[in-house]
Structure 1
Amino acid sequence: MTDSGLEFDLTRRIGGFILRGRASLPACGIVSVSGSSGAGKTSLLRAIAGLDSGLSGQVRFAGETWHDGTCRMPVHRRRIGIAFQDTRLFPHQSVAGNLAYGAARAPAGTPGPDRAEIIALLDLHPLLKRAVAGLSGGERQRVSLGRALLSRPRLLLLDEPLSAVDTARRNRLLPDLRQLLLDHGIPALHVSHSRAEIAQLADHVLPVRDGQCGACHPLNDWLAAQDASHPFSLLEGHLAGHDTENGLSTVRLGEASLVLPGLGEVPAGASLRLIVRARDVALALDPVPGLSIRNQIPVRIKGIRPQPGTAYCDLDLALDGQVLTARITRAAADSLSLETGQSVIALIKSATLDPAQE
């Protein structure tokens, strides 16, 4: 690990529950903490933030010791932005007042997103004069996230920050939130039960189970391990536009484009990640006219991997600098005389934002 990342080796007993966490996390990007309810995800974030006593071990960030056997840095000096699921807003202040509290915590001259950028991202302008008590759960969570971002944190801790936000708004928000964090170089630890949210937001995933942290994995590897029997590809692109009359949207993947339904709630221009299941990709030697599959994309075969004990093989296909995986029968591959380096047409039947969606 370099001195610019987050490193911890900690233990905390909470009644009969023992949290043991050890990891070296990247200095930039977003790490999602994944695990079942009660696994210790929130306890881990609280331990890193310094919110609880009874912690033993070490926590270091950017070469700075936050906690060890001889010192415990106060929470405010760590310059952490925290957005909890239960929001913890100040009930006696308006939305604008809560946001102002976050902004007041940002040291003068500190780089980061400005107020207008955050208000636009979270669609907070209509809420600014409202009292916190009158907000819905999703509105409160958006305000809490805005307050955390306005503090211009060195590290952002997000504990189920969008769990009460409706799916349509969450789909609009996630790509822009990820881009804002990357643009301003704000690393984040993000807790979520939603595999779709993790797929759209994370760069790496840290699993937690029964109070134990596992190894931190790149997002692709973690997603693949969730259901190894049903492989898929994670393709990055941006939404080029909508055909509202037909309910279709165009996603650009470099030079290639996919036309897909079900993305009408994602704003044009947004970056996004598409889940394409290997079973939803067929292959042809040439474009096929008169076919209901609209997405016929030229690709090149990078590799062919027979699946032992099955009738299938997986093909890795080069697509504008990304890899698309197709699963077809070995008999089909033989009949088409497919081989590495060959140019073929990928027939993509469907794609989704949610890896759990069938």
Structure 2
Amino acid sequence: MVGSRDRLARTGVAGVYFVQGMCFAALLTRVPALQEKFGFSEGQLSLVLLAVPVVAGVGSVLAGLLATRFGSAIVLRVGGLGVCASIVGTGLVASRTTLYLDLAAVGLFLGLVDAAMNMQGVAVQRRYGRPVLASFHGVWSAGAIAGALATAVTAHWRWALGSALGAVALLGAAIALAAGPRLLRPAEEVSPVRDNAVTRIPWAPIVAVGTAMMLMYIADSATSNWSAVYLHTGLHSSQGVAALGLAAYQTCMVVGRAFADRLVARHGPVRAVSIGGAVGVLGLLVVVVARSPAVGIAGFAVLGLGLCVVVPQSFSVAGQLDPGGTGIAVARVNLFNYVGFVVGAALIGLVAQSRGLRAAFLVPAVLAVGIVVLARSFRPRAVAAGDARGVRPVVGG
């Protein structure tokens, strides 16, 4: 039975997801402004964007080590405020050197929060005894919409770069501080069943679902890092309209994830991931053939609707592989997030420089077919033990 403490924890974790999505999107939709401010070519910009997920991977590993010892809540409370503070710095720096240092801090804090918030999300799902993880990622997407719209609204303000990021950071810090006391404490998120059979995490299924998530994040990286640039420079939209590509993508992420938990519970994760991957391929092909900003934005929307299910189900599998609730499997799967983001940023930048952004978006379209092929790796797994209160294991997704 779901208790009041579980519901309270769910609201706190949702708040953390919202802040992370909002800050991330607010920063990425300012990429065209950063490119113009510092005079980056597309190749140089790809290298700058590449550095953030590389450092975030370090943050994810660090989160796994810290959460195992201190619990994921403290990692989130520190990391969340760090994300907010560092994105403010991005809007204020005046030289390339200080920008690089600030983006390194952004990446480190993003990695800490990404891993730790999914540890909390998996723990809440385990306590609920039914799929709820997609709803958290839906809240992340809602936050991303808010961040992208903040850019669209402030695109023509004087000092828009600093003021937009500052406003988002202040709101994010307030929500993070309110959410902190609601998060699950270490004793609440970890199962007492911690023998060797439970805590030995198999690598083969992690690599399988992680690869599918990597392919998803290649497409996500292309959208997050390059949709605004593509719409602005390739399809000749204004900067305000260019920010709507990411907003449309995340809007359909929210719509899809609002129903994903129920669809997975009814039809199973294999079918959900397979169909979602196919729809994602279709959305990217629409982006490639677009001749107007409206069609390009529509393609990003279809992409979001298709790929919305992949990440929540990847972390659900991680939770099933780690019924002891150590967070080890979640941290490992989360690394594929950054591998995908790094590969996506590099591939799109390299192809864009030689063939243009239109051709560059064909690359993730082809790679996303792999998600359909790997869908079988998301089949439900029996869990050795439930949590301390006897809640049934989650095997539906």
- Give me the TM-score of the superposition, normalised by structure 1: 0.23
Tell me which structure has the larger Cα radius of gyration.
1
Bigger relative contact order, structure 1 or 2 (CA pairs below 8 A, ≥6 apart): 2
Q: Which has the higher strand share?
A: 1
- Give me the TM-score of the superposition, normalised by structure 2: 0.21
Q: Which has the higher helix share?
A: 2
